[in-house]
């Protein structure tokens, strides 16, 4: 929308908090009613986080199929999962039709690999059988209308009455769920617009 309105710089670079899910069958696991992300580990130095996760069964099957593991298509209830999410660099482009293009560089891949190694070790230590990994998935896209570049401190962008109030305004790679930040920015903007 902003590109169509003449803001050509919008969409030059974004982050997406990519993740992968490491999965392994455990002999005594029942995962149907788990509360996702109830425990986790954040390694700010290495740039990744680990968390337990429970994906819908159809996602699990798609992940198993994509990983070349048709033998695990029906093992959902006995599968433990650990999400590996990284703090990726701002890169890529969102074109005028809104289609994102993204390439993950060596630093992003190294962060992901470090987290994957730890997640696999945890599942194997718990007795996990033949772990496998999901494809890359994007979690929290943002950073395409960064504060201080395209949005000012009032969240105004390009024109007097145009404000942006979503993860697009986050000015640097994030790596964490942005929910509380977005709620706070929404309250901030609502007060300013009163």
Q: What is the per-residue pLDDT across 44-79, written as a single tens digit (0 to 9) for each?
A: 999 999 999 989 999 999 999 999 999 999 999 899
Identify the domain containing residue 71 by its residue range. 18-138
Q: Which pLDDT band, with edges at 50, 70 and 90, does 38 fall under?
A: confident
For residue 82, what are the β-bridge partners? Answer: 22, 52
Does some domain include residue 120?
yes
Summarize pLDDT for 136-178 with one digit per residue, the tens: 999 888 988 899 998 999 999 877 788 999 999 999 888 888 9
CA distances (Å), 136 to each of 20, 24, 139, 190, in order? 5, 17, 10, 36
CA distances (Å), 146 to each of 29, 121, 167, 168, in order? 43, 37, 9, 6
Average pLDDT over residues 10-19: 87
Does some domain include residue 131?
yes
Q: Which pLDDT band, with edges at 50, 70 and 90, does 80 fall under?
A: very high
On the question of pLDDT at 93 being above 70, the answer is: yes
Q: State residue 53's pLDDT score.
A: 93
* Rounded distance between C-alpha atoms, residue 69 and residue 23, angstroms: 11
Q: Is 30 exposed, middle or buried (0-12, 13-18, 19+ CB in 10 A)?
A: exposed
Summarize pLDDT for 107-121 with one digit per residue, the tens: 999 999 999 999 999
Q: State residue 97's pLDDT score.
A: 84
**Percent of the chain whose predicted confidence (pLDDT) is above 70:** 93
On the question of pLDDT at 190 being above 90, the answer is: yes
Are the CB atoms for 79 and 25 separated by under 8 Å?
Answer: yes
Are the CB atoms for 90 and 143 separated by under 8 Å?
Answer: yes
What is the number of structural domains in the chain?
Answer: 1
* Rounded distance between C-alpha atoms, residue 25 and residue 4, angstroms: 48
Least confident of 94-98, 118-122, 154-158, 186-190: 94-98
Does some domain include residue 119?
yes
Does some domain include residue 146?
no
Does some domain include residue 129?
yes
Does some domain include residue 67?
yes
Does some domain include residue 32?
yes
Q: State residue 8's pLDDT score.
A: 67
Are the CB atoms for 105 and 9 separated by under 8 Å?
Answer: no
Does some domain include residue 1?
no
> Which strand (E) or helix (H) includes residue 23?
strand 18-25
């Amino acid at each position: 929308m902003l590109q169509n309105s003449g803001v050509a710089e919008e969409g030059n670079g974004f982050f997406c908090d990519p993740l992968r899910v490491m999965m392994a069958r455990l002999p005594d696991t029942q995962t149907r009613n788990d509360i996702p992300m109830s425990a986790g580990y954040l390694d700010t130095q290495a740039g990744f986080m680990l968390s337990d996760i429970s994906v819908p069964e159809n996602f699990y099957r798609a992940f198993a199929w994509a990983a070349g593991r048709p033998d695990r298509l029906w093992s959902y209830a006995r599968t433990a999962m650990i999400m590996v999410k990284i703090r990726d660099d701002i890169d890529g482009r969102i074109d005028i039709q809104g289609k994102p293009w993204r390439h993950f560089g060596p630093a992003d891949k190294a962060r992901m690999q470090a987290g994957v190694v730890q997640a696999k070790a945890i599942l194997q230590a718990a007795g996990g059988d033949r772990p496998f990994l999901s494809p890359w998935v994007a979690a929290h896209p943002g950073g395409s209308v960064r504060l201080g570049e395209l949005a000012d401190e009032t969240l105004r962008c390009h024109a007097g009455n145009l404000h942006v109030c979503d993860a697009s305004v986050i000015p640097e790679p994030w790596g964490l769920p942005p929910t509380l930040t977005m709620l706070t920015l929404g309250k901030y903007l609502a007060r300013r617009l009163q």
